[in-house]
Amino acid sequence: MAFFRTVSFNETTPAITGAGVILRAPHSGDFTEWAALRGASREFLVPWEPTWPSDDLTRGAFRRRLKRYAEDQRSDLAYAFLIFRTDDNTMVGGLTVANIRRGVAQAGNIGYWIGAPFACKGYMTAALRALMPYAFTTLRLHRLEAACIPNNTASIHLLEKTGFKREGYARGYLCINGAWQDHLLYARLKGDTD
């Protein structure tokens, strides 16, 4: 049993509305749009992500991904969202609260990606701002953490713009694009303001 558990096993993740975006849990009907956006954005995304499996954009891999998301949510370990533009319901990216630690920590890590055509247009800023109240109230987290590669200036700008504070530097923190990369560490607490 998780200390401070907030979401029941049968509960579905609600859609979250922000300024020009809607975040909702992925489902099987998203495959075609997801695979097209990720495929078209591959060159843009690869420098900032773990190595893509050879079958990453297949329907089977997407089904496995959905199964893992469901298992993680049932276990209160992670909550995954796809981000859509509200004016035309176009998928623009994804956002996850993962590595949730309960008990005395009440913390989780933020991970995100944006499709190349939608980068630097404010969608991820709006999505992250919309997600934070959900994370701090419904999920009852006290702390959201994020890490980014030091030369990822867009990610640094996003985190600082949304009220995350730089807390440190971790050497060889995550294996990104096939190499162990140093990362800047950021966090935002429940009571922090932008």
Domains and CATH numbers, the chain: 16-141 (3.40.630.30)
Chain-centre distance for alpha carbon 95: 3
Report pTM: 0.92
Which helix (H) or strand (E) is 158 found in, with range? helix 153-161
Residue 1 has pLDDT above 60, yes or no: no
Which helix (H) or strand (E) is 128 found in, with range? helix 123-136
Which of the pair, 7 or 52, is modelled with greater confidence?
52
pLDDT tens column, 61-86: 999 999 999 999 999 999 999 999 99
pLDDT tens column, 17-44: 999 999 999 999 999 999 999 999 999 9
Q: Determine how β-strand 107-114 pairs with β-strand 143-148.
A: parallel
CB 146, CB 163: distance < 8 Å: no
pLDDT tens column, 173-182: 999 999 999 9
